[in-house]
Chains A and B, each alone.
Chain A
Amino acid sequence: MDFFSAMDISSSALTAERTRMNLISSNLANANATRTAEGGPYKRKDSVFAAVPLPESFRSVLSRMEQAPRKVEVNQIVEDQNPPRLQYDPTHPDANPQGYVALPNVNVIEEMADMISASRAYEANVTAVQAAKNMALKTLELGR
């Protein structure tokens, strides 16, 4: 009986969702950034999640020859390779000779939808942690 691995799993998800939220914030903040250190407009960043097994002792692996619950981690952060948005604005200092400015390939509406999804997932994991905590505390009350 181990509530701590439940908390381990849920907190790994909290970390992953928060990383995702950070990337969304970064995308929103840079929705109009035309200059970056690498040159060119900002590119939308996205996270790739992967399910990873919990670190386990050799004994517990032996005693349990079955599929163990897996936690989650941000495996990779990828840049969206879609072409930048082109907007006609000849007065902009970064405009090309034709008068078009290359703006980041960030779709603000898409980011907002992603943000809601990330925050709901975060809440669900918080609920799971609370459930584990309540179960553990109630067990301590046994025999009072």
Chain B
Amino acid sequence: MNNFNSFLRNLEKNLYFFSGEEIEQILLDYKELYNVKLESGKTEQEILKELDSPTQIANNFAKEMNLKTSSVSKMFINTKKTLKKYLNKSSKNYKKIKNNLKIKKQNVRYKGKNFIKNYKENKESKFTKEKKGGNFFFDVIKNIFYFFIFICTLCFKFIRRICSFAVWVSIVVLVLIYILSFVFIEIDFYGFYYRLFETTAIIGYIMCATIIILLLKDKSE
């Protein structure tokens, strides 16, 4: 503690369990005390030495007003704060993604109409940094992957006994990729993470649907 101002700031932090007005009053009391002591010819350092520590003062206030300031309640308040911060941030992210989705949807509609044209354009600008429309290569892989999953669901009954573990692992991996792409969508320069996000979502839905169908089939048998 070097000066009185930092003492006040520290005290303010420790009095978190009071309302803003009450904190103001207490700080005013301490300012008054400080001024009177200054008038009596004491230096700042001497006064600070005479005062108790901010935590001690806050504890005394809490005890006197019958308030609990256990470390647990402190922790709770802190986590609440961080959660609030996080929620604010994620809601911003959500809006961003929603906007992105709108734009991409428009793009997809456009793409469908001018698919061949776009493909040609893409082929031409393959080695330029400019990115227009969809990436055909990526689309093909996506479609193959969808087809593969479709086949898998057909053969699922036969390979289930061997593959059930693999299926679960793939679900976990998908979820992880989904979350990661969700996180990285903020630093998305080339739309890659967006695509990852989109595809994993779709794959996830398909997998969920197939698993539900299979479970229903199992039950009916």
A is bound by B: no
**Residues of A in contact with B (beta carbons under 8 Å apart):** none
**Residues of B in contact with A (beta carbons under 8 Å apart):** none
